[in-house]
């Protein structure tokens, strides 16, 4: 799609609309960083502060006094990365199978996959705890990334994508060329899944990062908390140190931003058009 | 060797071994939540000096997370701490669950401590079967904090606020006219106090001894009526507590009165409205009402690993005068231990309250709070009553209808 | 090896037949055929194994629990059998039906705008923005990564009745966004919309990458306006992704818990007005101490979600579901 980047009236309007949206949507994000630099008493000023203050370092200092924050960040990074890596591989595999193969029970099995997303999960705390206790996985990161290693959401996404974006001819051709299934999957299909993998990777990373119910059930040491749980543990009903909490939240959002930037390049990169042309 | 000598030597050896084992360090786990965790952490140096062989690991989670995690642990019997901190809102439910040791029994014999604490706290920690499930750590005696400068400007005195509810509302109207300030943040405050007024010892708040729901009684009707009258008179700022509105109103002279636990004074000073220092005073609640806002407890789970040591720690935090006074100093929490209430710190003038020796007042207020038993459905009943009160006040629902609906719902919910 | 096929046509009648297979080649071909038959099962097995271990037990436990009355702090032994009574009890609870209506209201009020806005927005970004694309998408996506704690604090600040920026900008008397039942629901719907708009934009953008550029060029040559290209070129090809994204929105909104929970304190008088079914379930379990009924409610909710998702799948039809296997 090649439009010259000139300022036509419609382009101006588009930019204005999109720009307004950017401001409205990014405002809370902006405020997180602003509040991270303010003292608690100033956050509740009226009107609230719109620009950065000078309390960032003291907020961080308070944060570090209260929490083993760097350890928590490390734990979050580890768990989120493992979950993402496993998801990308296992969901792509399963999504490929559902999209491309015909096999007995396929409809039912896929319905089970999607159905598993519909069960509200926070009641699972007690049985999940029992299972983890049985395995001796309490207080281990394994308990956090193994259960979600092949998420239903990822399988659903990959199936939709592979089913609709990868031409059947390509797969047939690979098979006729003598590729086994695994080879077809790995060498032919996966390279074309850039946008989907980028999206899935990003979503999985963010969800794994923000999950606090899992760690709440499984981790019983402040050192092993992930960041959301740790930040929550700093909240008090009447006396939360909001400045420090916002500083922690702001720092915790940075890896997610990095993950976004990293996957954005894959997301917006086009398909290699060559494979599709006749 | 003669038989007797051998067995004596074996006995001596066994005793020696046992002695060595007992002096090895044990670690106990204390599960708690902010801000109570800070009191426990601050007490650690003194604890280690007194008990060098017992290490303490403090695990702290957010208030809701903590109680959720404890519910999970109690449900599965696994992952329980040795000492569990419990907030007032959950004490009824946890105490009634049977998951905790009865502290009246040996080896704890905490019944002997009863006379050392503010009486109503032991009542709160005792379940329907008469078992003492926890020791009280701190209390929140209810007080009316008011802006003396704004009251004076309207030509009012403290007595006008506290004499009766009618005079309170009338004072509120006068205050609003003269200064634009409101006497309450939300009319629910009045409701809560009135429900607790004139209760006799042993009388339940929402349920009586047999579990009958009491919400259609005259006490409730009267409370709803006064609450509605207050709302109609316009003396409420309609600011939900702990929101920006409320904080801003406190700072900008829009709220001239706040009924709350005494600990609020500390928060006002620290961050809520530090610039209003010197302008607040603390008074008893209007119309001779005595109420308690919140409170914390320490309990010993039945299936904990180190119960005796855990109880030592719980006793250290609650029955030790120095610990209680230190908590007061660090967190502004009011001690549940009577001896701690005699400490000189109680007689200190408080600059934020214009030099008033408010803690002496709070001590007196605490001693007059009636012994109201807690029921495990109290939290649920509170939610239902609050929701119906909103219907009455905001949507003009008839009071008797509202209370009848509340009763139906509470009965539906409180399946015994 | 066969001649390499540079022309990838599916018309194999034109290609020369391969030479007759040898014994080893035949064995290999048979093995490959069996492998191909078994492969799908192998590929999907990680999910099902993990599900069997970590998902099945909680599921069965939850069904079992829904047939018992259980006050959890009393320990596992305290469960006692009540059969289907919990289901009946939930269905006759006035707060349950209220929560269902609230949940459905949120699903529509925040779900419909999400997609109505995300679709054309993704198209606009895809077609008109080149250099600023990543930045704009990032800005739209940022709500999804903002932590709940921050969301709660900042939105209550922005929507404050007397001191919020929103009321400062809007003309007319100040709206009690977080104190009035009617407006509180709207505020929650706005926050959910805010949170997930960018996610849907990202999903649709990734699907738009797949649509070949020459389709648009052909349409432009035919004189189609931008809007017509959107409607007749992009939209039909986006159906699989729409099905996916709308299913997710449906499932997510019907399970809505977090946004109302963090914006309206659970003990405020308004809490009941924004209570979704998931919040009702939480309250049953952790406030009323009735885990059995909470489980029953979670299953009732599951049936509702399953029914609506099935309906959604029927609406989108075969091509919508991206099923290309023959």
pLDDT tens per residue, range C214-250: 888 888 888 878 788 888 888 888 888 888 899 999 9
Q: How deeply is A262 buried, as exposed, middle or buried, from its count of CB atoms within 10 A (0-12, 13-18, 19+)? A: middle
Q: CA of A133 to nearest chain B CA: how many angstroms apart?
A: 8
Q: How deeply is C325 buried, as exposed, middle or buried, from its count of CB atoms within 10 A (0-12, 13-18, 19+)? A: middle
In this prediction, residues A201-207 reach a mean pLDDT of 91
Average pLDDT over chain B, rounded to an integer: 89
Q: CA of B5 to nearest chain A CA: how many angstroms apart?
A: 47
Retrieve residue B8's tokens: 């004596």
Predicted pLDDT at A199:
86
CA B415/CA C85 separation, integer angstroms: 12
Question: Does the distance separating the beta carbons of A238 and B242 come in below 8 Å?
Answer: yes
Predicted pLDDT at B152:
93
Q: How confident is the model at residue A16 (pLDDT cuts 50, 70, 90)?
A: confident
Predicted pLDDT at A209:
93
Q: How confident is the model at residue A212 (pLDDT cuts 50, 70, 90)?
A: confident
Q: How confident is the model at residue B294 (pLDDT cuts 50, 70, 90)?
A: confident
Question: Does the distance separating the beta carbons of B75 and A46 come in below 8 Å?
Answer: no
Average pLDDT over chain C, rounded to an integer: 83
The verdict on C287 touching B (C-beta cutoff 8 Å) is yes
> What is the phi/psi pair of residue A169, to 5°?
-60, -40
Domain limits, chain C: 20-65, 85-320
Predicted pLDDT at A271:
33
What is the DSSP-derived secondary structure letter of residue A239?
T
Residues of chain A positioned with their CB less than 8 A from the CB of C137 = 264, 267-268
Q: How confident is the model at residue B416 (pLDDT cuts 50, 70, 90)?
A: low
Determine the angle formed by the axes of helices B218-233 and B399-413, rounding to 10 degrees.
130
Measured in whole angstroms, the distance separating CA A119 from the mean position of its chain's CA atoms is: 20
Instruction: Indicate which of B58, B89, B271 best probes the interface with A, i.e. most A CBs within 10 Å of its own CB.
Output: B271
Residues of chain A positioned with their CB less than 8 A from the CB of C213 = 1, 270, 273
Helix (H) or strand (E) holding A66: helix A56-66
Residues of chain B positioned with their CB less than 8 A from the CB of A132 = none
The answer to whether domain B25-139+294-359 and domain B141-292+371-413 are alike in fold is yes
Question: Does the distance separating the beta carbons of A232 and C147 come in below 8 Å?
Answer: no
Predicted pLDDT at C158:
85
Q: How many CB atoms lie within 10 A of CB C61?
A: 18
3-state secondary structure chain C: CCCCCCCCCCCCCCCCCCCCCCHHHHHHHHHHHHHHHHHHHHHHHHHHHHHHHHHHHHHHHHHHHHCEECCHHHCHHHCEECCCHHHHHHHCCHHHHHHHHHHHHHHHHHHHHHHHHHHHHHHHHHHHCCCCHHHHHHHHHHHHHCCHHHHHHHHHHHCCCCCCHHHHHCCCCCCCCCCCHHHHHHHHHHHHHHHHHHHHHHHHHHHHCCCCHHHHHHHHHCCCCHHHHHHHHHHHHCHHHHHHHHHHHHHHHHCCCHHHHHHCCCCCCCCCCCCCHHHHHHHHHHCCCCHHHHHHHHHHHHHHHHHHHHHHHHHHHHHHCCCCCC
Per-range mean pLDDT, top range of A149-163, B46-60, C6-20: B46-60
Q: Could you read off the pLDDT of B9-51 as tens digits, one per residue? A: 655 555 555 555 555 689 999 999 998 999 999 999 999 999 9
Q: How confident is the model at residue A148 (pLDDT cuts 50, 70, 90)?
A: confident
Nearest to A198 by CA among A87, A97, A110: A87
CA B305/CA B81 separation, integer angstroms: 8
Question: Looking at chain C, which residue has its C-alpha nearest residue B387?
Answer: C269
Predicted pLDDT at C276:
93
Retrieve residue A17's tokens: 């609309």
Predicted pLDDT at B233:
92
In this prediction, residues A22-48 reach a mean pLDDT of 86
Percent of chain C at pLDDT exceeding 90: 28
Predicted pLDDT at A2:
45
What is the DSSP-derived secondary structure letter of residue A196?
H
Residues of chain C positioned with their CB less than 8 A from the CB of A28 = 143, 146, 150-151, 154-155, 158, 194
Q: How many CB atoms lie within 10 A of CB C310?
A: 12
Counting every residue written for chain C, the total comes to 326
Predicted pLDDT at C1:
35
Of A125, A133, A239, the CB nearest to B78: A133
Measured in whole angstroms, the distance separating CA B324 from the mean position of its chain's CA atoms is: 15
Question: Looking at chain A, which residue has its C-alpha nearest residue C253?
Answer: A118
Q: How confident is the model at residue C5 (pLDDT cuts 50, 70, 90)?
A: very low
In this prediction, residues B284-302 reach a mean pLDDT of 92
Q: Are C244 and C252 in contact (CB under 8 A)?
A: no
CA C217/CA A3 separation, integer angstroms: 11
Identify which has the larger pLDDT, B311 or C268. Answer: B311
Q: Are B284 and B365 in contact (CB under 8 A)?
A: yes
Q: CA of C182 to nearest chain A CA: how many angstroms apart?
A: 22
Q: Could you read off the pLDDT of B340-385 as tens digits, one per residue? A: 999 999 999 999 999 999 999 999 999 999 998 888 888 889 989 9
Q: How confident is the model at residue A29 (pLDDT cuts 50, 70, 90)?
A: confident
- Domains by residue range for chain A, with CATH: 67-233 (1.10.3720.10)
Identify which has the larger pLDDT, B210 or B351. Answer: B351
The verdict on C94 touching B (C-beta cutoff 8 Å) is yes
Q: Is C71 a residue whose pLDDT tops 90? A: no
Q: How confident is the model at residue B302 (pLDDT cuts 50, 70, 90)?
A: very high
Question: Does the distance separating the beta carbons of A234 and B35 come in below 8 Å?
Answer: no
Q: How many CB atoms lie within 10 A of CB C92?
A: 10
The verdict on C3 touching A (C-beta cutoff 8 Å) is no
Predicted pLDDT at C318:
59
Retrieve residue A65's tokens: 């006094």
Q: Could you read off the pLDDT of A220-265 as tens digits, one per residue? A: 988 999 999 999 999 888 788 899 999 999 999 999 988 888 887 7
Q: Could you read off the pLDDT of B217-237 as tens digits, one per residue? A: 999 999 999 999 999 999 999
Residues of chain A positioned with their CB less than 8 A from the CB of C326 = 102, 168
Question: Does the distance separating the beta carbons of C291 and A123 come in below 8 Å?
Answer: yes
CA B184/CA B258 separation, integer angstroms: 6
Q: Regarding the domain delimited by B25-139+294-359, which CATH topology (the fold level of the hierarchy) does it fall under? A: D-Maltodextrin-Binding Protein; domain 2 (3.40.190)
Q: Regarding the domain delimited by B141-292+371-413, which CATH topology (the fold level of the hierarchy) does it fall under? A: D-Maltodextrin-Binding Protein; domain 2 (3.40.190)
CA C219/CA C212 separation, integer angstroms: 12
The verdict on B416 touching C (C-beta cutoff 8 Å) is no
In this prediction, residues B160-188 reach a mean pLDDT of 93
Percent of chain C at pLDDT exceeding 70: 90
> What is the phi/psi pair of residue C204, to 5°?
-70, -35
C56: Cβ contacts below 8 Å, ≥ 6 apart:
none
Predicted pLDDT at C140:
85
Q: Are C106 and C191 in contact (CB under 8 A)?
A: no
Q: Is B276 a residue whose pLDDT tops 80? A: yes
Q: Is C19 a residue whose pLDDT tops 90? A: no
Q: How confident is the model at residue C321 (pLDDT cuts 50, 70, 90)?
A: low
Domain limits, chain B: 25-139+294-359, 141-292+371-413
3-state secondary structure chain B: CCHHHHHHHHHHHHHHHHHHHHHCCEEEEEEECCCHHHHHHHHHHHHHHHCCCEEEEEEECCHHHHHHHHHHHHHHCCCCCCEEEEEHHHHHHHHCCCCECCCCCCCCCHHHHHHHECHHHHHHCECCCCCECEEEEEEEEEEEEEEHHHHHHCCCCHHHHHCCHHHHHHHHHHHHHHHCCECECCCHHHHHHHHHCCCCCCCCCCECCCCCECCCCHHHHHHHHHHHHHHHHCCECCCCCCCHHHHHHHHCCCECEEEEECCHHHHHHHHHCHHHCCCEEEECCHHHCCCEEEEEEEECECCCCCHHHHHHHHHHHHCCHHHHHHHHHHHCCEECECCHHHCHHHHCCEHHHCCECHHHHHHHHHHCCCCCCCCCCHHHHHHHHHHHHHHHHHHCCCHHHHHHHHHHHHHHHCCC
CA B388/CA C271 separation, integer angstroms: 12
Helix (H) or strand (E) holding A242: helix A242-268
Q: Is A268 a residue whose pLDDT tops 80? A: no
Q: How deeply is C313 buried, as exposed, middle or buried, from its count of CB atoms within 10 A (0-12, 13-18, 19+)? A: middle
Class of domain C85-320: mainly alpha
Least confident of A136-145, A240-249, B60-69, C312-321: C312-321
A&B contacts, CB < 8 Å: 72
Q: Could you read off the pLDDT of A104-124 as tens digits, one per residue? A: 888 888 888 888 888 767 778
CA B89/CA B94 separation, integer angstroms: 10
Identify which has the larger pLDDT, C12 or C26. Answer: C26
Say how many CA atoms lie within 13 Å of C249 toward its Cβ: 31
**C-alpha dihedral (A56, A59, A60, A63), degrees to nearest 10:** -160
Name the neighbours of C, counting chains with at least 3 Cβ pairs within 8 A: A, B
In this prediction, residues B313-330 reach a mean pLDDT of 93
C27: Cβ contacts below 8 Å, ≥ 6 apart:
none
CA C204/CA A19 separation, integer angstroms: 19
């Amino acid at each position: 799609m090649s439009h010259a980047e000139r300022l036509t009236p419609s382009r101006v309007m588009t930019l204005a609309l999109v720009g307004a949206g950017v401001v409205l949507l990014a405002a809370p994000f902006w405020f997180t960083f602003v509040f991270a630099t303010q003292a608690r008493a100033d956050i509740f000023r009226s009107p609230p502060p719109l620009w950065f203050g000078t309390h960032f370092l003291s907020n961080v200092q308070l944060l570090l006094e209260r929490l083993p924050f760097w350890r928590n960040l490390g734990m979050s990074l580890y768990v989120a990365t493992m979950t993402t890596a496993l998801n990308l591989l296992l969901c792509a595999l399963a999504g490929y199978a559902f999209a491309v193969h015909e096999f007995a029970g396929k409809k039912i099995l896929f319905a089970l996959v999607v159905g598993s997303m519909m069960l509200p999960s926070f009641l699972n705390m007690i049985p999940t705890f029992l299972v983890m206790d049985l395995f001796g996985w309490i207080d281990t990161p394994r308990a956090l990334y193994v259960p979600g290693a092949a998420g239903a959401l990822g399988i659903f996404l990959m199936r939709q994508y592979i089913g609709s974006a990868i031409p059947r001819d390509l797969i047939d051709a690979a098979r006729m060329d003598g590729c086994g299934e695994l080879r077809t999957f790995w060498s032919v299909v996966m390279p074309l899944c850039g946008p989907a993998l980028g999206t899935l990777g990003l979503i999985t990373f963010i969800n794994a990062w923000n999950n606090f119910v899992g760690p709440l059930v499984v981790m019983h040491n402040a050192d092993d908390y992930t960041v959301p749980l740790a930040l929550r543990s700093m909240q008090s009903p009447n006396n939360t140190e909001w400045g420090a909490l916002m500083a922690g939240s702001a720092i915790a959002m940075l890896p997610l931003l990095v993950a976004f930037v990293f996957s954005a390049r894959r997301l917006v990169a086009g398909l290699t058009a060559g494979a599709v042309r006749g | 060797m003669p038989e007797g000598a051998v067995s004596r030597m074996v006995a001596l050896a066994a005793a020696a071994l046992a002695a060595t084992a007992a002096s090895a360090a044990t670690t106990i786990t204390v599960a708690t939540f902010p801000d109570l965790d800070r009191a426990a952490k601050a007490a650690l140096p003194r604890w280690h000096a007194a008990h060098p062989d017992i290490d303490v690991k403090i695990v702290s989670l957010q208030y809701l997370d903590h109680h959720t995690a404890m519910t999970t642990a109690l449900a599965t019997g696994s992952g329980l701490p040795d000492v569990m901190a419990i907030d007032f809102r959950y004490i009824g439910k946890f105490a009634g669950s049977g998951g905790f040791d009865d502290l009246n029994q040996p080896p704890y014999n905490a019944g002997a401590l009863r006379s050392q604490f503010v009486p109503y706290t032991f009542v709160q920690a005792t379940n329907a079967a008469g078992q003492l499930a926890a020791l009280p750590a701190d209390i929140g005696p209810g007080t009316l904090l008011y802006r003396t400068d704004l009251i004076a400007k309207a030509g009012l005195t403290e007595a006008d606020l506290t004499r009766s509810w009618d005079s309170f509302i009338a004072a509120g109207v006068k205050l609003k006219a003269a200064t634009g300030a409101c006497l309450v943040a939300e009319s629910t405050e009045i409701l809560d106090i009135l429900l607790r007024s004139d209760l006799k010892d042993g009388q339940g708040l929402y349920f009586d001894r047999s579990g009958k729901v009491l919400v259609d009684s005259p006490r409730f009707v009267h409370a709803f009526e006064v609450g509605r009258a207050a709302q109609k008179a316009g003396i409420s700022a309609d600011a939900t507590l702990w929101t920006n509105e409320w904080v801003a109103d406190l700072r900008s002279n829009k709220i001239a009165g706040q009924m709350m636990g005494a600990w609020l004074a500390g928060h006002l000073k620290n961050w809520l409205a530090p610039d209003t220092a010197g302008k607040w005073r603390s008074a008893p609640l209007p119309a001779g009402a005595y109420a308690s806002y919140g409170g914390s407890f320490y309990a010993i789970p039945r299936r904990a690993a180190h119960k005796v040591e855990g109880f030592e720690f719980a006793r250290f935090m609650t029955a030790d005068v120095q610990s209680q006074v230190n908590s007061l100093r660090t967190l502004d929490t009011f001690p549940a231990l009577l001896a701690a209430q005699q400490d000189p710190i109680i007689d200190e003038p408080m600059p934020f309250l214009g030099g008033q020796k408010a803690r002496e007042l709070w001590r007196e207020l605490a001693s007059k709070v009636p012994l109201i038993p807690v029921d495990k459905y109290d939290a649920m009943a509170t939610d239902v009553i609050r929701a119906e009160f909103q219907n009455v006040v905001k949507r003009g629902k008839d009071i008797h209808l509202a209370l009848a609906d509340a009763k139906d719902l509470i009965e539906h919910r409180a399946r015994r | 090896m066969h001649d390499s096929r540079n022309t990838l046509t599916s018309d194999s009648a034109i290609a020369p037949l391969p030479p007759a297979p040898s014994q080893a080649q035949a064995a290999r071909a048979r093995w490959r055929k069996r492998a191909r038959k078994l492969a799908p099962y192998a590929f999907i097995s990680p999910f099902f194994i993990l599900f069997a271990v970590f998902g099945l037990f909680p599921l069965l436990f939850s069904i079992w629990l829904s047939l018992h009355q259980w006050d959890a702090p009393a320990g596992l032994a305290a469960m006692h059998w009540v059969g289907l009574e919990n289901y009946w009890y939930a269905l006759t609870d006035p707060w349950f039906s209220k929560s269902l209506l609230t949940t459905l209201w949120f699903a529509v009020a925040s779900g419909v705008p999400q997609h109505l806005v995300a679709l054309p927005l993704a198209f606009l970004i895809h077609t008109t923005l080149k250099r600023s694309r990543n930045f704009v998408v990032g800005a739209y996506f940022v709500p999804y990564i903002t932590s709940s704690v921050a969301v709660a604090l900042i939105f209550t600040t922005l929507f404050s009745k007397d001191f919020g920026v929103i009321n400062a900008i809007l003309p007319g008397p100040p709206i009690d966004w977080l104190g009035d039942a009617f407006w509180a629901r709207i505020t929650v719907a706005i926050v959910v919309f805010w949170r997930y708009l960018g996610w849907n934009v990202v999903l649709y953008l990734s699907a738009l990458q797949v649509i070949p550029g020459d389709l648009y060029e052909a349409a432009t040559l035919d004189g189609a306006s931008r809007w017509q290209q959107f409607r007749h070129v992009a939209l039909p090809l986006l159906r699989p992704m729409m099905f996916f994204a709308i299913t997710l929105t449906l499932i997510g909104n019907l399970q809505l818990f977090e946004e109302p929970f963090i914006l309206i304190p659970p003990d405020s008088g308004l809490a009941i007005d924004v209570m979704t079914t998931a919040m009702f379930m939480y309250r049953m379990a952790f406030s009323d101490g009735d885990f059995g009924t909470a489980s029953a409610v979670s299953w009732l909710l599951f049936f509702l979600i399953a029914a609506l998702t099935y309906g959604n799948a029927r609406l989108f039809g075969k091509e919508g579901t991206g099923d290309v296997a023959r």
